[in-house]
Amino acid sequence: MLMSGEPLRHQGPYDFGSSDLFERVFDRGRALFLADTFNQLPDPATLFLHRKFMGTFMLCRRLRAKVDLGGILAAYL
């Protein structure tokens, strides 16, 4: 979840088109799975929230979007 929140913590516009976040999350998840680190599934709400974050990230990446998410959400955080 910490890695998925990277675009929110970034100062200024986050460049989704040049980010390697998806690859890093994928590699980390695969390493944890292969190391038999997961002894139980995450809470479904956490799992689905992570899935929504990554789906939105992949769409922004395809669009090569540059978005200041921190600025947009600052009033709500």
Q: What is the pLDDT of residues 7-17, one digit of tens each?
A: 888 999 999 99
Query: What is the domain partition of the chain in residue ranges?
Result: 6-73
Q: Are 40 and 47 in contact (CB under 8 A)?
A: no
Tell me how far apart the alpha carbons of residues 72 and 17 are, in angstroms, rounded to a whole number. 19
pTM of whole model > 0.75? no
43 Cβ neighbours under 8 A, 6+ residues apart: none
**Residue of 46, 41, 38 lying closest to 5 (CA atoms):** 46
Whether 1 has a pLDDT exceeding 80, the answer reads: no
